[in-house]
Amino acid sequence: MRSLTFDELFAMLSAVALSAGDLARLREWIASIAHPAECIALIEQAAAGRPCPHCGCARKHRCGQASGLQRFRCLHCGRSHNALTKTPLARLRKKECWLPYLQCVLESRTVRDAAQIVGVHRTTSFRWRHRFVPGAMRDRPKTLSAIVEADETYRLESQKGSRTLTRRPRKRGGVAKRRGISREHDCLLVARDRSGQTLDFHTGRGQVTVEQLHECLKPVLPLDVLLISDGAVSYRRFAAEAGITHEAVNVQAGERVRGAIHIQNVNSWHSRFKSWLVRFRGVASRYLIHYSGWQRLLDTRRLTTPAHLLCAAVQLDQVGG
């Protein structure tokens, strides 16, 4: 009996309507036969020509191999490095599992689901989440342009996973002790232009201040932009001090749209983020910026494959520090 070629098998598989269970079994099988060579090749390719991460010098020579990666020795500082030195992925093991795990990141899998699919322990899955996502989420725009909407969303502060609480523990489904926005809430500031470019900032607890707006928004807003926000006084003061044109939407008075003046885009992003975050059943405040960056990656659809995510995590730390 003639054996099928891969193209024939792939054509047959493409014609079958696969259920969620079938897809999970297929992913588990692919993860079980994955080989680190593909992952290593992508890492070396993404980091090609990278200068020394310790001093920035481009002069180096080969210095053996370790963990499958080529090592180099800098001719200036004499220290050795590889393609992952001083990146969030440095010293991570099981490279044969990285690409299947990054597919789980693209699918917004929970820690336990990803661990089962890839074949690692759930604590490894959690640690990897907060190494891969921060690495890739630095693929963000340098500046915003034209019309920029800015608004903040607030979440109740969480010390999930902390061994030592700085307050009395809440009951499940806990609420803040004070009404309205207070120091019990984490502030996530989001700025988004009409082309879909998005930037997110975790400004800490309580309402956003003028100083925080200067720190977060001033470096990314050219002077010719039109900044649109709600009626908060902090935005008006920031825009006046920064010399930026500003329009406010009086949301409290029921105003939503005034011609092209609205904050519907950024509020829509907030809504998608909150809906997406539900699957994780609560996230710690210290990781909030990781999750907003993760959602931003998915929302822009620029990094659509595990290889894209891996290369982004490696490439974006070219100079070290």
- Mean pLDDT computed over 177-205: 88
Q: 56 is in which domain, residue-wise?
A: 36-137
Q: How far is CA 182 from CA 154, 178, 187, 188, 205, in A?
A: 10, 7, 10, 14, 8
Of 8-17, 118-127, 267-276, 287-296, which gets the smallest average pLDDT? Answer: 8-17
Do 133 and 222 share a domain, yes or no?
A: no
pLDDT band for position 214 (cuts 50, 70, 90): very high
Q: Answer whether residue 311 is part of any domain.
A: no
- Mean pLDDT computed over 9-26: 77
- In this model, does residue 282 exceed pLDDT 90? no
Of 30-34, 117-121, 254-258, 298-302, which gets the smallest average pLDDT? Answer: 30-34
Please provide the average confidence, as pLDDT, over all residues in the chain: 86
Do 101 and 216 share a domain, yes or no?
A: no
Q: Answer whether residue 196 is part of any domain.
A: yes
Do 152 and 210 share a domain, yes or no?
A: yes
- Closest listed residue to residue 312, CA positions, set 143, 144, 134, 192: 134
* Between residues 212 and 7, the one the model is more confident about: 212
Do 133 and 41 share a domain, yes or no?
A: yes
Instruction: Decide: 298 and 31 in contact? Cβ < 8 Å.
Output: no
Do 154 and 124 share a domain, yes or no?
A: no
pTM: 0.80
- In this model, does residue 108 exceed pLDDT 50? yes
Do 113 and 190 share a domain, yes or no?
A: no
* Between residues 177 and 123, the one the model is more confident about: 123
pLDDT band for position 34 (cuts 50, 70, 90): low
Q: How many domains does the chain have?
A: 2
Length of the chain (residues): 321
- Residue 174 pLDDT: 74
Q: Answer whether residue 284 is part of any domain.
A: no
- Mean pLDDT computed over 91-102: 89
- Residue 319 pLDDT: 39
- Residue 190 pLDDT: 95
Contacts of 62 (CB under 8 A, 6+ apart): 70, 71, 72, 73
- Mean pLDDT computed over 275-294: 91
By percentage, how much of the chain surpasses pLDDT 90?
A: 39
- Mean pLDDT computed over 292-299: 89
Do 275 and 152 share a domain, yes or no?
A: yes
- Mean pLDDT computed over 162-188: 80
- Residue 202 pLDDT: 93
- Residue 317 pLDDT: 45
Q: Answer whether residue 187 is part of any domain.
A: yes
Do 130 and 221 share a domain, yes or no?
A: no
- In this model, does residue 320 exceed pLDDT 50? no
pLDDT band for position 170 (cuts 50, 70, 90): confident
Contacts of 158 (CB under 8 A, 6+ apart): 186, 282, 283, 284, 285
- How many CB atoms are closer than 10 A to CB 159? 15
Instruction: Decide: 246 and 232 in contact? Cβ < 8 Å.
Output: no
- In this model, does residue 28 exceed pLDDT 70? no
- Mean pLDDT computed over 282-305: 88
Do 152 and 270 share a domain, yes or no?
A: yes
* Between residues 43 and 315, the one the model is more confident about: 43
Give the domain CATH number at 267. Answer: 3.30.420.10
Q: Answer whether residue 236 is part of any domain.
A: yes
